[in-house]
Chain A
Amino acid sequence: MTPDAVGLTAKEAERVRQLCGREPNDLEWGLFGALWSEHCSYKSSKRVLAWLPKEGPQVVAGPGGNAGVVRLDDRMEVAFKVESHNHPSYVEPVQGAATGVGGIIRDIVAMGARPIALMDSLRFGLEGNGQRLRDGVVAGIGGYGNAIGVPTVGGEVYYGPGYAKNPLVNVLCVGVRQSKDAIVGASGARPGQMVYLLGQATGRDGIHGASLLASRDFSADDQDMRPTVQVGDPYTGKLLMEATLAAIETGGVAAVQDLGAAGLVSASSELAVQSQVGLELHLDQVPCRESAMSGYEIMMSETQERMLLVLNSAHGGEALAAISQWGLNATPIGRVTASGRYVLYFGEREVANLEASWLVDGCPLTPAGKDLVAPAFKPMRPSPGSMEEGVEEGFDAGALMAIASDPDCRERRPIFQRYDSMIQTATVWGPDHEVSVLTVDGSPWGLALAVSGIGRWAAVDAYAGGAAAVSVVVSRLATQGAVALGLTDGLNAGNPDKPEVKQAFEQMVLGIRDAARALDVPVTGGNVSFHNETDGAAIWPTPVIGGVGRHFHPTAPVADSLNRPDVTLLLINPALSPSLGGSVWERQHGVLTAYPRVRLSDLAHTVTWLGTAVSDVDADIRAVRAVADGGLWLALVKMWLASAPSVGMTVTLEAVHAMPRLLSEEAGQFLAAVATTRVEATLLQLQSNAIGCLVVGQGHDGDYLELQVGRPSRWTRRWSRSQMRAAWQSWEGDSGGSGTP
């Protein structure tokens, strides 16, 4: 075995030799190759991720473990994290997505938390096999989540050319656990304790999945490098989840670590490092599904549905009994030592002898840029023929309908209907809302959950896109008056060895940092997926942000639609000079310019005000939505279509910049419907808080949406509900409902 066969550079190989003080054997080279891969070592991102804020009084566990944990109340804690499964989903969409769901669920379980919700963030190409990939991915996510019994309560899907050969599949899982003094995780192992492997027998699945597949770009001649595809087994996953939680419940578990990328070597060495102990593992004792598996294969296998447990001597027996109740066996495969060494045996033979920290922390990291300030905003030349340039006033009804029916904007029912969103009977608001609301057993409070990350917004100005993703998520939580407790970030990008990719990545993280700081939310964990690049074509940098908020009245969410027409429509914190940068409209017209910078301090202000305003018992605010893709226009369309048939709306805009006003996707704006009798009071409140506001329309009791532009109105246009619904649900015309929702 040569170092480059396991993916190590000459420099890295030299470092390995230095650490070991000798020439490693083949197996050892393999272990280094896997753990020093981009996917496992975070070598290109670790120093950049360190910029993110991770502290807060509510934070129980920040980045570093399997998932972040925040405090919901005195008794309950929330574990959550986003994980990507992009490369496997391209190779085999159904199983790739399914195993991604299984993997993130095990991360949450490894924190001792019971998974209560999933959300998925998907990106595909519009042309070619985008539809086939999407159908497979959706089948895979549903197939796993539905069967294991964790509801998929929301998600998002967007399209773009770079995703055609690099689809993104990011999944967020949220779990809850009771606050306990001893936090279960990977750090509790103590010398003398036994190490057990739990779950599926080990096969040759996915060997090199993480180290080679996910840590390199794709090219056409990668075919034979493809490992045996991992297959998700939600049935065993369910038993494993229950058995692990039951074992933890007994108090017999000292440490737990799920097996994911780079399988046993990654899980065991990480556990050793986190617990600051040595480990002695006997590979011949690992139950195998296939015959004659080598030590190397056993260490590298990415067979799913496995957990590593370290049991303590006091209650370990009870933990084993609890596990067998669920029909699973825990196999002892080694013990914890005080030596600090990481030693592997096959039979009597010692086959590796290293320090676990060499594997986990030894990889040389790429230095991060020193430039810790936001890059200057570069206003771009306006898009050719854009309204900003030519059409100073007026509007284009056809363009508006094209936005409502755009694949990035239209209704997602054909997707989310394939997910069980209601199991566990806590879903108050599910995937047909932009923010999900759940009750939490054992707490009077609930959770508000949101996920967002529009690559289009980061395409030109990654800083702006990163900040915007955080802004949208926090805005959505704010529409519920929820307090944002923490964020998780799934960062997807191309090949980090390319300077432009590295730079965009850093700027994306800076944007996330600045927004998270301004909005006072820590980032407690996340994921980085590089090498989303095939034959030299990379994706837009895509920051998928997930947010968890404390909801104070989860059984009565703040409405996002109306059942009475006596309202005035307000655009709160409106864009100062509405820009179409990065919008759907621009993408439709074949040009992308820079997405506007979110005014973070204005947004922070607005979020604070909303927090009290939406919970006001006087219910001045009857419905509210955060503006994002499709701009104010899409927010209006969605609010109206979700409203009772007796509610109509008339939207009134100045002629100047009417279209940018409607279609600007600048995050931080809110569409609110306020009881007309209370509008004056609301406007006064906003004014005294120095929050900008535009009155943009009125409710009425005709069943239509009317747009009036110019005062007095110079253009008007009216849409019936069925017209608008047909546009927004334009997937319905597609054959068999399998078009492009």
Chain B
Amino acid sequence: MKPKVAVIRFPGSNCDRDTVQAFQSLGAETTILAYDREDLEDATHVVLPGGFSYGDYLRAGALAAHAPIMQALVDAISRGAIEVLGICNGFQILCERGILPGALFANVSGQFRCSWEWVEVLTPPARWPGFRRGMRFRLPIAHADGAYRIGHSDREALWAQGSVFLRYVDPDGQETGEYNPNGSWEAIAGISEGPVMGLMPHPERAMQPWLGSKDGRLFLSLWLQEVPQ
């Protein structure tokens, strides 16, 4: 079945257009869904894009987590009927809703940070076998609240279930284990559980060599499980 990608637009989303463009450039049929819908139309793949939903007021993603469409998303996930990707603010929304474990808190610097980073696949998600352990992507981050945190009691489960998908690695490609652009626990950049994946970096911004990297093409293709073009 050809994938049908739906990008959810919350009030204050601002990477929605970039994300639509990125998927369209991969040849995927892509539409925008409004946050106040109560269904997902016939989407096979749902993307929660980056941005500042509701201004990121209160906490990043907290208010969008209650949008009407989120119930439809929860239902579709439990039916196994959908694949979900949360990018940046989308990742924050998924955590706030409890769809992914943990929470994204203010960067330890207390500052927004926009920079190119290297991330590496730590645990390949069962659902997306194309991501192989040790695979590296050069992707930008742009966030103020990207420090991944999780309660003590849930940490073991996170490892045990193979949810630790992506981590930041040193810009020189050396795995020193010390490099950490935002103070995430274990330098975590992305989590995946079942059909849901969330990450802070922006693959949709890395689609062309002249923008700094085209690793985002490979990343999104693997998520779509389509042959990259």
Q: Which residues of A contact B (CB under 8 A)?
A: 139, 142-143, 146-149, 233-236, 238-239, 326-327, 416-425, 427-428, 439, 554-556, 736-737
Contact residues in A for B44 (Cβ distance below 8 Å) = none
Contact residues in A for B51 (Cβ distance below 8 Å) = 149
Q: List 22 A-B contacts (CB under 8 A).
A: A143-B112, A146-B114, A147-B12, A147-B52, A149-B52, A234-B52, A234-B55, A235-B12, A236-B55, A238-B11, A238-B12, A239-B12, A416-B114, A422-B142, A422-B202, A423-B15, A424-B17, A425-B22, A428-B210, A554-B210, A555-B208, A556-B210
With A147-B52, A235-B54, A238-B14 known to touch, is A427 a contact of B112 (CB < 8 Å)? no
Contact residues in A for B56 (Cβ distance below 8 Å) = 147
Contact residues in B for A737 (Cβ distance below 8 Å) = 109
- B71 in contact (CB, < 8 A): no
**Which of B14, B140, B212 sits near A149, CB closer than 8 Å?**
B14
Q: Which residues of B contact A (CB under 8 A)?
A: 11-12, 14-15, 17-18, 21-22, 50-52, 54-57, 109, 111-115, 140, 142, 144, 202, 204-205, 207-208, 210-212
**Distance in Å: Cβ of B119 to nearest Cβ of chain A:** 16
Beyond A423-B14, A428-B210: 16 further Cβ-contacts under 8 Å? A147-B12, A149-B14, A234-B52, A235-B11, A235-B52, A238-B12, A416-B114, A419-B114, A420-B142, A421-B114, A422-B202, A422-B211, A424-B18, A425-B21, A427-B211, A556-B210
**Distance in Å: Cβ of B15 to nearest Cβ of chain A:** 7
Is the beta-carbon distance between B55 and A418 smaller than 8 angstroms? Answer: no
Contact residues in A for B109 (Cβ distance below 8 Å) = 736-737
Is the beta-carbon distance between B11 and A418 smaller than 8 angstroms? Answer: no
Bound Cα distance from A503 to B15, whole angstroms: 48
Bound Cα distance from A235 to B10, whole angstroms: 11
With A147-B12, A238-B12 known to touch, is A425 a contact of B114 (CB < 8 Å)? no
Which 10 interchain pairs have the tightest Cβ spacing?
A149-B14, A235-B55, A147-B52, A555-B210, A420-B142, A425-B18, A420-B114, A418-B112, A428-B210, A235-B12
Contact residues in A for B57 (Cβ distance below 8 Å) = 235
Is the beta-carbon distance between A428 and B211 smaller than 8 angstroms? Answer: yes
Is the beta-carbon distance between B12 and A142 smaller than 8 angstroms? Answer: no
Is the beta-carbon distance between A146 and B210 smaller than 8 angstroms? Answer: no
Contact residues in B for A420 (Cβ distance below 8 Å) = 112, 114, 142
Residue of A nearest to B55 (CB): A235
Is the beta-carbon distance between A149 and B112 smaller than 8 angstroms? Answer: no
Contact residues in A for B14 (Cβ distance below 8 Å) = 147-149, 238, 423
Contact residues in B for A143 (Cβ distance below 8 Å) = 112
With A425-B204, A556-B210 known to touch, is A147 a contact of B142 (CB < 8 Å)? no
Is the beta-carbon distance between A417 and B55 smaller than 8 angstroms? Answer: no
Contact residues in B for A427 (Cβ distance below 8 Å) = 211
Is the beta-carbon distance between A147 and B114 smaller than 8 angstroms? Answer: no
Is the beta-carbon distance between A147 and B55 smaller than 8 angstroms? Answer: yes
With A235-B55, A556-B210 known to touch, is A423 a contact of B18 (CB < 8 Å)? yes
Contact residues in B for A148 (Cβ distance below 8 Å) = 14
With A420-B142, A423-B14 known to touch, is A233 a contact of B55 (CB < 8 Å)? yes
